[in-house]
Structure 1
């Protein structure tokens, strides 16, 4: 197969009649991608006159195959890259992959489990080596899948987040931030996964609305000193996590809540464990939630942690890192957290301390990898102080250094940065960037270093051990726009290609990744990492539901490309999307765009075969000299299209740009100009040469506009076009469409009068065609036509051959005005132009009326039958509702049919 493709690359088809009759994507795509890549077309070509256009590919995780989210990312970025390359910009698209710490480790751990072992049995070194084996396999797979998608990125600059260079950047950033006092180690509340046994990022937590219970519990109040013995006082709280009651160290109320004004400062008793805890006033409490009083468990809730810090409340951890109750949980120690919840509530009920229980929807946080409910726990971790980094990043968007498309996501960006929390960057994993911190067991010294440490600089001891944890995956990817260019080394690429032009990605990671890249870029490079943030939406199924394996609605892009071709998938993704909005992937659209690729092939094949024997090559648009109305009209339409598509792509409106190209090529070029050209090609040699020149030139320029969206079919056709049209100077393959110049708008070819006149011709032709269809006239039968054309009579006289051919008519009988309307003729109106079609040439009115009488009678009979069926109460009562509804739909359809047939009958009867 490879040898056949190599032969095809160097041996052109010399006979245009031998062109394949159908477009076969599988025979084309791999060959052209190899040609582009091996020819160096993906590498940046210096152009000092223009600013480089650079995109850094959002690195996919090395955990398996690409999905449709990656496909739309690759498609939109490739559209931008190919467009700017054709514009003459020095373009660079940097590809790469992410080591995906917790995701990759989880996958390999599952693999080990199937082999009856685990990472602890084989040890850290062997486990990491096993992951590298996995990475080498899937990294290559992801690269090949991007090639299948047509991604024209510079593979010589491909990066991986654990590459030596990127690892150097990670260490440099960690040490610098530590030296600046922005990285610290401390105890704070983090998201903890009891299965992964690691802290996890906010992005790795899925919040799932889950049916739960809101339990109202009474806490006894400690009697005041000197208070007379009497009835016990209580304060009630509501909680969705009763098991954490055992870790309460306070109760908080809003200080302005009149219900609790006199209780602030009192002491409450935690049930079961009998811990004395203070009642404090805190503005964070929502008086309208539950009872207005909240239990404070600083060791198990991030809000409670902050309240506890403000009021110096102790932290009591009652749930362990294994999700079982600790010794602090008293009689429930060792129980699973949910077992303890059930037992504690039962005990509280026996004690008479449960006021009531209500159904309540709980937004449970679940680990993205293990689907386990995460546990907020206090843990000693490494953190970055984010506030100093957030302000410059916020100002970059606020003051126009960075533009977010669509603009409505500015608010999302601002809200996150204005309410930012310190970032927990350490993970209890073995796969990833090991934290560059060493501890001396001899003297207790902690060393943060860019280089590996083998001896303590304080006491010279060799009893040195590196921190066991690794850094959050996002810690390496937030450096992506400049670490991929060689930072911190002073490479040639860095000043040339930083900052990037665009960061294109999904809106769902605007704060987890995009905002962080802005922070690091400004902090370490001195300016924002890109000027535009383009956010696309999610790809959903045809019903608008999110795709997932569990729903069995996930679509494999490779399967779609195998079946319909890559261009069909790309064009569907591009034209179904608008900035920031989710899109539905509808099968019919993919099929329609597969048909569009075939339309491009068939129309191009026709043009090549029709003009094969006519010289003249492929002229530039500017050199064309239009001779006919159709010539002037198609060149005018193309100029308008060029200006519009260029503006739309510059404005990131890729979907609308693609839709306009599709409409122009399919309708304006194929359905109207190519058909009109068939008439013009029957003229003299000059007419044939002129028409051939315009057919080729507009085809050439249309392929250029379409190339960023559908690169494979356009390159294949373009190569044939240049080979057959300019055989003397075009080798096979010809240069390459991928680096052909982008069409330029030419004001001189704008012709509004041609637009008006040809639009009128189109209207006339369309009306006659519709009338023929309505009358069921045989396709080959020519019909008479009489026209009152007014001031456009000369134009219609010149266009009569076109109307004859396109509408299958006799030579139109043209008049400026008609004294009276022709008898027994169907009248049509195209603007001010009156059109009459003598019925004698269309049909026998008498016979048509007889036929209609029979159809009306049959339809009425069916209406009566359905009405009788639906009036039968036994049928309505016993039949399934969907069956009854179907019969009602049939009745409505038949009643509508009767109405239309009667209207048609009346229309014809009036003409008799």
Structure 2
């Protein structure tokens, strides 16, 4: 029914399988074997269709956390499945140089030595960072091997390696020549700790308690009140703005008023940006320290006065000079209070405060000369690619967040005042010349020429990742074969940071070709209570600890089983233990099959299949189709759940158990069962492999004698279905389940056998009496048999002799409670159907549903009444 290895059937290797699964002994050697055999290395010359995923490059400073393990598990599953389906599957690994984060690490190291980067100088400092990268960087790459990542290590890239640096210089030059990169003085987000500009998306806004003070500017009738949370910036005010239609201040527009604590007078200007309904309807204007004020300043030709240096220290001559910005805030308010100019104070005043995403320092808006990308045409193209269907977003409801970002994107500040990173390829001449240099061009030389000191934002180079890693700007065989990539799988939290950047740059650099066909967005991993994982909460988990304890497969299965598209993923150790139990179950069931001669050799004897065989093969094919559908919709939780319940419930708990009696009897039926058991396990292990690669590799190669499940064929639905067999075995399952439930209610021991009379005539269960007795622990009735309980179920009747083994009072109480509930349900259904108005007005489906409830209640009452009547009296 499915393709299998030609050399299948050699089971002498069973001796190599320990009686218990020990992940630590299996996983490492298997992974090294995969690497040695080159299974993950993609061939650009292959005629197979390509399937490509580029890894979201982890920071060189990073180590494997659960978020990485989560996304890597899903990407690995996708690429492993496609490889098995016959694709030339490439999962390309690499790392990001992580400008600010890495520079901070090395600066901290230097600080411990009593030094700063300025003590070393730029060249020596950059060399020191490279040394750090070689010694400490890329720790995560080794951890990826532990997880089983099937990446092509021969193509590993780094955002500052020679090829990617060439790509950065090439696209900068192209954007510059096309007028899409420019230099301008504007308000930027400035980190006084990292001493660099930040883009909007590198600023995290948090609600903090502050103080809102209302200050009176001017005197008497020509005074005006403004409110601010940043009183220290008033030292740089160059105007007060009001709305042009605000009657309260019309008499002041165009006049000068005295700026408190200074010797300056500033104008009152009318600007439509001001909201007359907010506060006093008047705002202070500090063009050098607020982005909105900067725009007002541009419209009214106002000067921009910088009042603090790069470290947030006040530079205005006078009593506040030399104070830190927060010290100055208190001092300014105190001085204003002393002059009687504080009209009102509100404390605490909760407002959003921007923090550097790297060091958590409060960000300072600052007027600065920086390099910018003009994003409007790039962002429009990125939006159009999703709107016209060239790129699909999963889940689709996440598209709104994407559009909200790209449709409202502001020009991107790409220069950073760091030393670690791609240095901006622009030279300045002695007479004001500006020259942008491409990768094959010589920079200008001679006295007075100097290169720009800044480096590019980390996201500038990572935005090129889908094509720079494949060799762009050269048209390499890799680029021709593997671009566009197929899927970008990443967290919804970096749509803004990374996804939009790649869309913009990919469409621009690759002549309108999208960088990927699908954006599959995941949620974030949280603890079992749904709480964000944080060191401050004490709930951060090192996935390596769980891998050591339970095995990598158990961690992977737990993560995949929680992966609903776009939804956050709660995870707890108990769940990993449950997944470990699942891998053990796979191991033990396959060992049982091997010990009993299960084989994949030869064709399936379709004409000799029992109903049980036809049932499991029918279910197997249905599951193949179901799993394929879930993969195509990136529904990892559903496909994992489907595989778990099929493998554990149907294969291991039912088919394996049902096969035991047949195997024990021997003969031709046993041979057929061995072949079916081999077929089912072969396909099930291949279906499971992308999510749990290690245990399935060890078992599949032993079962089939095949080279490796990594390169085995992905199962296909043969079309075999047998509804009658499925119905027949469903009846058997119902009876066994009901008997087991009854036994558990009565507190009978699992292995305790009970005498029973089975009335199966007229049902398909006649042929399954032996199996029913085996699974339900029912022994034949003897001469002294006396039925003390009767269970009518699925058209059959099971009469049980529980003399001395049953708590009659407890069973009567349970049945009476269930009977009362069924009678209540019957009364409600009869009342509904007896209401002529309801039947006349309700939808036909609703009426039919009530009739179904009525029939079910009647059947339950009959069954429960019979069971009560069969109980011993007294």
Superposition TM-score, scaled by structure 1 size:
0.85
Distance apart, 1:753 and its partner CA: 1.7
Q: Decide whether the 8 Å contact of 1:324 with 1:337 is kept in 2.
A: yes
Q: 1:473 aligns with which of 458, 477, 487?
A: 458
When structure 1 is superposed on structure 2, of 154-163 and 207-216 the one drifting more is: 207-216
Find the aligned partners of 2:97 and 2:283 in 1 and give their Cα distance.
42
Find the aligned partners of 2:403 and 2:343 in 1 and give their Cα distance.
42
Do structure 1's residue 326 and structure 2's residue 315 form an aligned pair? yes
When structure 1 is superposed on structure 2, of 172-181 and 134-143 the one drifting more is: 134-143
Helix, strand or coil at the partner of 2:427: strand
Inter-CA distance 826–13: structure 2 relative to 1 (3 Å threshold): closer
Distance apart, 1:136 and its partner CA: 1.6
Q: Decide whether the 8 Å contact of 2:812 with 2:871 is kept in 1.
A: no
Helix, strand or coil at the partner of 2:186: strand
Inter-CA distance 909–799: structure 2 relative to 1 (3 Å threshold): closer
Listed as ranges, the gaps of 5+ residues in structure 2 are 1-9, 815-864
Matches within 5 A, 1:485-524: 485-524=470-509
Q: 1:316 aligns with which of 295, 305, 317?
A: 305
Find the aligned partners of 1:520 and 1:754 in 2 and give their Cα distance.
56
Matches within 5 A, 1:710-725: 710-723=692-705
Find the aligned partners of 2:13 and 2:382 in 1 and give their Cα distance.
61
Find the aligned partners of 2:587 and 2:737 in 1 and give their Cα distance.
25
Q: Decide whether the 8 Å contact of 1:800 with 1:811 is kept in 2.
A: no
1:785 maps to 756
When structure 1 is superposed on structure 2, of 204-213 and 396-405 the one drifting more is: 204-213
Find the aligned partners of 1:274 and 1:531 in 2 and give their Cα distance.
62
Matches within 5 A, 1:54-69: 54-69=52-67
2:411 maps to 422
Q: Can you list the C-alpha shifts for 1:772-808, whole angstroms capped at 9, x where unaligned? A: 222233444432334554641xx21100011010001
Find the aligned partners of 2:126 and 2:649 in 1 and give their Cα distance.
58
Do structure 1's residue 350 and structure 2's residue 313 form an aligned pair? no
Inter-CA distance 786–911: structure 2 relative to 1 (3 Å threshold): farther
Do structure 1's residue 756 and structure 2's residue 741 form an aligned pair? no
Find the aligned partners of 1:61 and 1:127 in 2 and give their Cα distance.
19
Inter-CA distance 346–839: structure 2 relative to 1 (3 Å threshold): same
Distance apart, 1:262 and its partner CA: 4.7
Q: Decide whether the 8 Å contact of 2:181 with 2:372 is kept in 1.
A: yes
Q: 2:383 aligns with which of 394, 406, 425?
A: 394
Find the aligned partners of 1:18 and 1:418 in 2 and give their Cα distance.
60
Listed as ranges, the gaps of 5+ residues in structure 1 are 1-11, 222-230, 724-733, 814-821, 853-902
Do structure 1's residue 560 and structure 2's residue 546 form an aligned pair? yes
Distance apart, 1:209 and its partner CA: 1.4
When structure 1 is superposed on structure 2, of 261-270 and 201-210 the one drifting more is: 261-270
Q: Decide whether the 8 Å contact of 2:44 with 2:478 is kept in 1.
A: no
Find the aligned partners of 1:574 and 1:429 in 2 and give their Cα distance.
39
1:528 maps to 514
Q: Aligned Cα RMSD in Å?
A: 2.6
Find the aligned partners of 2:742 and 2:31 in 1 and give their Cα distance.
48
Inter-CA distance 563–348: structure 2 relative to 1 (3 Å threshold): same
Q: Decide whether the 8 Å contact of 1:571 with 1:710 is kept in 2.
A: yes
Q: 2:168 aligns with which of 163, 167, 170?
A: 170
Q: 2:139 aligns with which of 133, 138, 141?
A: 141
Helix, strand or coil at the partner of 2:389: coil
Do structure 1's residue 770 and structure 2's residue 746 form an aligned pair? no
Q: Can you list the C-alpha shifts for 1:492-540, whole angstroms capped at 9, x where unaligned? A: 1112111000111111110111011011111110211011001111111
Q: Decide whether the 8 Å contact of 1:800 with 1:812 is kept in 2.
A: no
Matches within 5 A, 1:785-824: 785-789=756-760, 791-792=762-763, 795-811=764-780
Q: Decide whether the 8 Å contact of 2:787 with 2:799 is kept in 1.
A: no
Find the aligned partners of 1:790 and 1:120 in 2 and give their Cα distance.
93
Do structure 1's residue 305 and structure 2's residue 276 form an aligned pair? no
Do structure 1's residue 484 and structure 2's residue 466 form an aligned pair? no
Superposition TM-score, scaled by structure 2 size:
0.88
Q: Decide whether the 8 Å contact of 1:455 with 1:462 is kept in 2.
A: no
Distance apart, 1:180 and its partner CA: 0.7
Helix, strand or coil at the partner of 1:535: strand
Q: 1:635 aligns with which of 611, 617, 620?
A: 617
How many residues align structurally? 810
Q: 2:326 aligns with which of 338, 344, 350?
A: 338
Distance apart, 1:171 and its partner CA: 0.4
Q: Decide whether the 8 Å contact of 2:491 with 2:524 is kept in 1.
A: yes
Find the aligned partners of 2:208 and 2:715 in 1 and give their Cα distance.
55
Q: Decide whether the 8 Å contact of 1:788 with 1:833 is kept in 2.
A: yes
2:801 maps to 838
Helix, strand or coil at the partner of 1:355: strand
Find the aligned partners of 2:667 and 2:43 in 1 and give their Cα distance.
43
Q: Can you list the C-alpha shifts for 1:556-576, whole angstroms capped at 9, x where unaligned? A: 111111111111111111111
Find the aligned partners of 2:381 and 2:750 in 1 and give their Cα distance.
70
